[in-house]
Amino acid sequence: MVSVAIDGPAGAGKSTLARRLAAELGYIYVDTGAMYRAIGLYALRAGKDPKDNAAVNALLPQIELRLASIEGEQHIYLKEEDVSTAIRTEAAGMAASAVGANPAVRAFLLELQRDMAKKQDVLMDGRDIGTVVLPDATVKIFLTATPEARATRRWKEYQAKGVDTPYEEVLADVKQRDYQDTHRAAAPLKRADDAVLLDTSELDFEQSLAAMKKIIAEKVNQTIK
């Protein structure tokens, strides 16, 4: 089985690039951030503080998280409800970052994530894929960009969706999330020693995609058209 681990901070373009690469390579795309977001959303809906580990841990046994691939797109379900869109808010992102610092939540998701990589060729993105989830991944890429470049991209996405969030607020969120994700004790965001570093601050989407294909092709030793 081939596994490609893509880690990096919020807004580096991981999921957009990974989704496209997976489609081109015929791998299954696994967006692990969506799993943390779904748990964060569940906690918010239950009226719990996502930072309160004990309160979140008490919810875990009730959480029925399911992933399904529909026409190549990953959909995520809480019980029967498709929450793929509901998890994409800034609040769900912050809640995901909070529950991501909870070791019980990480343990809850670890086996699910590893199992997926056992059964099929995967391209998995997250924060700890190359370091914890798939330490033996075929290819490891650490995708990053400056906080300003990432906030600008996110801000443009919001604008395109008609969401009028001030740039300064998006930048502050990006920085706060970076801090939380890199400073937590449980599986903090960091580059695996054997991961290839790719900084996309100065690259557009197609350039980033080309750079990633090259890294993957070199490692998997095959030419990707």
Only segment of 75-83, 120-128, 137-145, 147-155 that touches ligand DC (CB under 6 A): 120-128
Residue 93 or residue 147: which is nearer to ligand DC going by CB?
Answer: 93
Query: Among residue numbers 139 through 168, which ones bind ligand DC (CB under 6 A)?
Result: none
- Site residues (CB under 6 A) for ligand DC, limited to 75-114: 93, 96-97, 100
**Smallest distance from ligand DC to CB 181, Å:** 5
Q: Least distance from C-beta 93 to ligand DC, angstroms?
A: 5
Q: Which is nearer to ligand DC, 56 or 181 (CB)?
A: 181
Question: Could you tell me the strand order of the sheet in which 3-7 lies?
Answer: 28-31, 122-126, 3-7, 139-144, 196-199
**Of 109, 131, 142, 134, which Cα lies nearest the Cα of 40?**
109
Q: Which is nearer to ligand DC, 94 or 211 (CB)?
A: 94
Structure tokens at 90: 């800034």
Element (DSSP H or E) covering residue 93: helix 90-99
Contact pick of 20, 150, 177, 213 for ligand DC (by CB under 6 A): 177
Binding mask 26-65 toward ligand DC (x if CB under 6 A, else -) reads ------xx--xx----------------------------
Residues 77/112, Cβ–Cβ less than 8 Å: no
Q: Would you say 114 and 30 are in contact if contact means Cβ atoms under 8 Å apart?
A: no
Residues that constitute the known binding site for ATP: 8-16
Q: Rule CB under 6 A: say whether 181 interacts with ligand DC.
A: yes
Residue pointed to by tokens 């994530």: 113
DSSP state of 130: I
CA torsion, ordered 212, 36, 119, 75, to nearest 10 deg: -90
Complete DSSP assignment for 211-225: HHHHHHHHHHTS---
User: With CB under 6 A as the contact rule, which of the stretches 74-82, 123-131, 166-174, 199-207 interacts with ligand DC?
Assistant: 123-131
Q: Can you give the binding site for ligand DC, defined by CB under 6 A? A: 10, 32-33, 36-37, 93, 96-97, 100, 126-128, 177, 181
